[in-house]
């Protein structure tokens, strides 16, 4: 049984030979592995028989993204970002943080419509996608499209970047017409962008990963009613489009989102990713018992506590617990709740992958 067969069988809620494995890691951690172990990311994935591979996707060919006088750089949405670094040496990570949301001062729907930096799906070359998927399949792996952190099929996060984190929530409560207009522009772009990706893949893509953080550590960022009003239809459309091409959909969201899971499931979600163990009301045993064969899961291993601060033995215990909770009957892909960061000790990382092998057999 190859990886692609293993993954698809598990997502059909059947038990393959072993639990499929995914591996999310930051660029900082990848550099650390290459420096200390002499392994590229691809070599690492092959060495540990990781089942999923994330294709690069379309190539940006649009207008040059501007570098501003203050040193910040604009992203696809015209949002200025500055590079920041955290940590030192082999534990150094870099990120691109928002400097100022360009729509923060907008007061009318007309100002939103007239924003000059709404992106176009025509800014991308989609022709490489089928070949990328075929290369993954030649290795027997499952092909996934996710996109990068600044261009992932979503709704709420781009709105936060454009409007401001607090302001978009204020809009939803007090200026719903502005919120709906912003979400409409974002949704229209991503539906066309997604359609171009699926068409270019020509049946070779296995999983589409969307990503939008709906939860905090203690509960959802918005109420179920507000989620349905502003985000539910777009969420449904993204999934329906992928399903029309026979592609499974996995959605990443950090945080505590238990009240929103039935809403996501009603709209056709196949796989829920993250299962952040520190977040409230996200117990894997309870989630598996409630949703059983209706929903698959990926993730669940702590990158917030256990991997960076635990011992190898604690890492192995956590892996075993997640497998015991989520793997019976299929419907689970082993993975961490988010990217493994550069501050994770290599001994803990090795323990993680050893535990996948040790406990993952059915």
In order, the DSSP letters of 280-330 are: TT--HHHHHHHHGGG-EEEEEE-TTTHHHHS-HHHHHHHHHHHHHHH-TTS
Longest dimension (CA), the chain: 59
Distances (CA, A) of 192 to 120, 186, 224, 228: 9, 10, 27, 22
pLDDT attached to residue 37: 95
Residue 257, in any domain of the structure: yes
Tokens of 100: 């100022």
* φ and ψ of 347, to 5 deg: -65, -40
**Distance in angstroms (rounded) separating the CA atoms of residues 134 and 140:** 10
**Distance in angstroms (rounded) separating the CA atoms of residues 105 and 146:** 31
Residue 90, in any domain of the structure: no
Contact 90, 32 (CB under 8 A): yes
pLDDT attached to residue 80: 97
CB atoms within 10 A of CB 275: 26
Contact 242, 191 (CB under 8 A): no
* φ and ψ of 120, to 5 deg: -120, 140
pLDDT attached to residue 149: 84
Residue 170, in any domain of the structure: yes
Contact 7, 206 (CB under 8 A): yes
**Distance in angstroms (rounded) separating the CA atoms of residues 84 and 82:** 6
Contact 297, 335 (CB under 8 A): no
Tell me, rounded to whole angstroms, the distance of Cα 17 from its chain centroid.
26
Tell me, rounded to whole angstroms, the distance of Cα 7 from its chain centroid.
17
Contact 251, 210 (CB under 8 A): yes
Contact 195, 139 (CB under 8 A): no
* One pLDDT digit (tens) per residue for the chain, 362 residues: 999 999 999 999 999 999 999 999 999 999 999 999 999 999 999 999 999 999 999 999 999 999 999 999 999 999 999 999 999 999 999 999 999 999 999 999 999 999 999 999 999 999 999 999 999 999 999 999 999 988 999 999 999 999 999 999 999 999 999 999 999 999 999 999 999 999 999 999 999 999 999 999 999 999 999 999 999 999 999 999 999 999 999 999 999 999 999 999 999 999 999 999 999 999 999 999 999 999 999 999 999 999 999 999 999 999 999 999 999 999 999 999 999 999 999 999 999 999 999 999 99
Contact 332, 270 (CB under 8 A): no
pTM: 0.98
Could you give the angle at the alpha carbon of 157 between the alpha carbons of 152 and 158, nearest 5°? 75
H/E stretch holding 332: strand 332-336
Distances (CA, A) of 286 to 13, 282, 300, 344: 17, 8, 13, 28
Residue 285, in any domain of the structure: yes
Tell me, rounded to whole angstroms, the distance of Cα 339 from its chain centroid.
10
Among residues 74, 33, 59, the alpha carbon closest in space to that of 83 is found at 74
**Distance in angstroms (rounded) separating the CA atoms of residues 141 and 354:** 20
Q: Is 24 left (phi over 0), alpha (psi -120 to 50) or beta?
A: beta
Domain count along the chain:
1
Residue 247, CA atoms < 13 Å, CB-side half-sphere: 32
Residue 332, in any domain of the structure: yes
pLDDT attached to residue 101: 98
Q: Helices (DSSP H) in 175-299: which residue ranges? A: 176-201, 224-227, 233-244, 261-266, 284-291
* CATH label of the domain that carries residue 35: 3.20.20.210
DSSP code, position 48:
T
* Domain of 332, in residue numbers: 3-62+106-359
Strand partners, 336: 301
Residue 172, in any domain of the structure: yes
Residue 75, in any domain of the structure: no
Contacts of residue 67, Cβ cutoff 8 Å, sequence gap at least 6: 73, 74
Contact 304, 339 (CB under 8 A): no
CB atoms within 10 A of CB 347: 11
Residue 214, in any domain of the structure: yes
């Amino acid at each position: 049984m190859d990886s692609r067969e293993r993954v698809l069988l598990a997502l059909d809620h059947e038990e393959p030979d072993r639990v499929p494995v995914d591996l999310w890691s930051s660029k900082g951690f990848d550099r650390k592995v290459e420096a200390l172990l002499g392994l590229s990311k691809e070599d690492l994935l092959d060495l540990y028989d990781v089942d999923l591979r994330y294709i690069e996707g379309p190539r940006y060919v649009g207008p040059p993204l501007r570098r501003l006088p203050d040193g910040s750089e604009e992203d696809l949405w015209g949002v200025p970002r500055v590079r920041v670094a955290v940590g030192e040496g082999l534990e150094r990570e870099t990120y691109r943080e928002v400097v100022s949301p360009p729509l923060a001062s907008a007061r009318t729907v007309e100002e939103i419509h007239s924003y000059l930096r709404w992106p176009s799906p025509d800014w991308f070359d989609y022709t490489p996608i089928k070949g990328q998927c075929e290369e993954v399949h030649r290795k027997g792996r499952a092909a996934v499209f996710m996109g990068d952190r600044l261009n992932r099929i979503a709704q709420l996060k781009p709105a936060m970047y454009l409007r401001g984190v607090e302001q978009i929530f204020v809009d939803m409560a007090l200026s719903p017409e502005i919120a709906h207009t912003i979400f409409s522009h974002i949704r229209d772009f991503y539906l066309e962008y997604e359609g171009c990706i699926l068409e270019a893949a020509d049946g070779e893509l296995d999983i589409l990963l969307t990503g939008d953080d709906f939860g905090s550590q203690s509960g959802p960022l918005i109420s179920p009613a507000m989620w349905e009003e502003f985000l539910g239809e777009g969420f449904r459309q993204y999934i329906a489009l992928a399903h029309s091409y026979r592609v499974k959909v996995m959605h990443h969201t950090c945080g505590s989102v238990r009240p929103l899971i039935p809403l996501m499931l009603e709209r056709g979600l196949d796989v829920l990713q993250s299962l952040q163990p520190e977040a409230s009301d996200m117990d894997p045993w309870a989630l598996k018992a409630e949703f059983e064969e209706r929903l698959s899961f990926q993730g669940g291993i702590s990158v917030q506590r256990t991997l960076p601060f635990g011992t190898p033995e604690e890492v192995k215990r956590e892996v075993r617990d997640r497998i015991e909770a989520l793997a019976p009957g299929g419907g689970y892909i082993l993975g961490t709740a988010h990217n493994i960061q550069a501050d994770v000790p290599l001994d803990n990382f090795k323990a993680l992958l050893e535990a996948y092998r040790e406990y993952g057999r059915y």
